[in-house]
Amino acid sequence: MPQAWHELRELTALAALAGLARDRGQEAWLCGGTLRDVLMGREPPDIDLAVSGDALALGRELAARAGGRFVPLGREFATCRVVLEQGYVDLAGLRASSLEGDLAARDFTLNALALPLAALWEDDPAHALIDPTGGRQDLAAGRLRAAGPGVLAADPLRVLRAFRFMATHGFTPAPELIPRLIGRGPGLFRVAPERIASEWLALMAGPEAAKAVRAMDQCQVLTRLVPELAAGRGLEQNPYHHLDVLGHSLACLTAGVRLAAGRGPLAGALGAEGPAYLEPPRRRALFMTAALLHDLGKPPTRQERDAEWATFYRHETVGARLARRRCRALGLAKADAAWVGMMVGEHMRPFHLMGAENRGQLSDRALRRLLAAAGPDLTGMFLMAMADTVAGRGPLRPPEAEGRLLALYEEVARRRDQELAAALAAPPLIDGHDLMAALGLPPGREVGRLLELVREAQLDGEIADRDAALELAKRAHNHRLS
């Protein structure tokens, strides 16, 4: 018997629930993603059950008996969650007059499976599976098929969920599903942003995220969700690149996924730190989002220099603003959108440092600026630069580009860990309250600008005490006013 069945049996809440349902004359079935993942040999992320009769009353009694917490989730289908020491259990009333009708109304066949809860303790639980839509056969084939003719129309978010399953589970859509995904893409505009955000983050954290995003593009869904990407289709770049802007963005995402898996040109310090940096699912999802969006600023900043060359000056700054705005429109939290914007806005910095190093001008000040901009995400910034480098294969691209980037990170990491760490750890000479009191300033950008200026002067050894810091700030502020 697969280990996953044994692990389910060890959840005392399920045994308690089976007894409660029997005593109350109700039926309970394990269903949905729980069964899907158990049959795939995976540990299910949550425990979903369908319940005949009053699911909320059953959930309340389970919480009381097991010492858990009862959380109502929604009035539709009477859904609730019981939070216990071992995790949580979700209960939902049937969405049709029968279990078979409930399963047929679910999204995809491989989620339209059910198992009577009592069968969990039999020798071979799988023999009792209820499978009205052929989900087990589709699961064995790794095939994604809609559970019924109206399921995508019933909830347009299921269009995005299809691509999420491609990314997280490696499923391949059945041929008949493709035109249905294309036809239902516009319905995503009716979906609450927070629901889109949940699916988007799960998709972008998946091991097959790049494959899924390419499928989204082919199904005309990607540019509905991120319309700014459409401007990059067919937009040629300079000879460092071999793809148009959109193709390059997709290639950058593909390279990012490979780097997260420890594949591609990784060595030395970046090879040791990179995959671990991208291991947390949320960080990985946000990084992949930034990889996809990193050149959003290129279409609005493109300037043709001659027949073969175009420039994109400050595209990273424009792109950061567009990326933050799009992330918020996708329902991502403000902090997550800001992180993506930071990564997009700073993705060119390692390349600028490579140029400075090549000219023998890689100063401590430049490195401090880099570390201040990257904070704890220095590794991520260089991973982004590496993905960007790998995705560009134009005729003028230096063949040693990856090696130079690895060597630069080696040098930056060494100097970060040695001489610069001590300097950056030095406490600031003044803070915002000092500035506002001394200069009569209100809270705002000017205070931040002056603090940054004073901090750089401190780290460069130009000032060493509070009085000098305040005098420098006063001169800089008065100069701006004059």
Mean per-residue pLDDT of the chain: 90
Residue type at 432 in one-letter notation = G
User: Of all residues in the chain, what percent carry a pLDDT higher than 90?
Assistant: 61
pLDDT of residue 455: 85
Residue 421's pLDDT is: 65
CA distances from 44 to 8, 39, 322, 412, 437 (A): 9, 10, 36, 41, 56
Mean pLDDT of 23-52: 91
Task: Yes or no: say if 153 and 159 are a contact pair by the CB < 8 Å rule.
Answer: no
Q: Where are the alpha helices (DSSP H) in 125-192?
A: 135-141, 151-154, 157-169, 177-184
Q: What is the pLDDT of residues 420-453, one digit of tens each?
A: 666 667 788 999 999 999 989 898 888 888 998 8
Average pLDDT over residues 91-113: 93
pLDDT digits (tens, 9 = 90+) for 129-175: 999 999 999 999 999 999 998 999 999 999 999 999 999 999 999 99
Please write the tens of the pLDDT for every residue from 346-372.
Answer: 999 998 888 655 555 677 777 777 877
C-alpha 272/C-alpha 276 separation (Å) is 8
Confidence of residue 7 (pLDDT cuts 50, 70, 90): confident
Q: Measure the CA angle with vertex 209, ends 203 and 215; round to 5°.
A: 95
Instruction: Render pLDDT for 257-298 as a digit per residue (tens, 0 to 9).
Output: 999 999 989 889 999 999 999 999 999 999 999 999 999 999
What domains are defined for the chain?
3-147 (3.30.460.10), 226-425 (1.10.3210), 432-481 (no CATH)
CA 214/CA 323 separation, integer angstroms: 19
Whole-structure pTM value: 0.87
Stretch 23-29: mean pLDDT: 95
Q: Residue 456: pLDDT above 90?
A: no
- E strands within 41-86? 47-51, 69-74, 79-84
CB 104 within 8 Å of CB 147:
yes
Asked if residues 86 and 12 have their Cβ atoms less than 8 Å apart, the reply is yes
The predicted structure's pLDDT at residue 223: 94
**What is the model's pLDDT at position 419?**
61
Q: Are the C-beta atoms of 414 and 386 separated by less than 8 Å?
A: no
- Asked if residues 54 and 47 have their Cβ atoms less than 8 Å apart, the reply is no
pLDDT in tens, 185-239: 888 888 999 999 999 999 999 999 999 999 999 999 999 999 999 999 998 887 7
> In the prediction, which pLDDT does 56 show?
93
Region for 292 from its dihedrals, namely left if φ exceeds 0, alpha if ψ lies in -120 to 50, beta otherwise: alpha
pLDDT at residue 416 tops 80: no
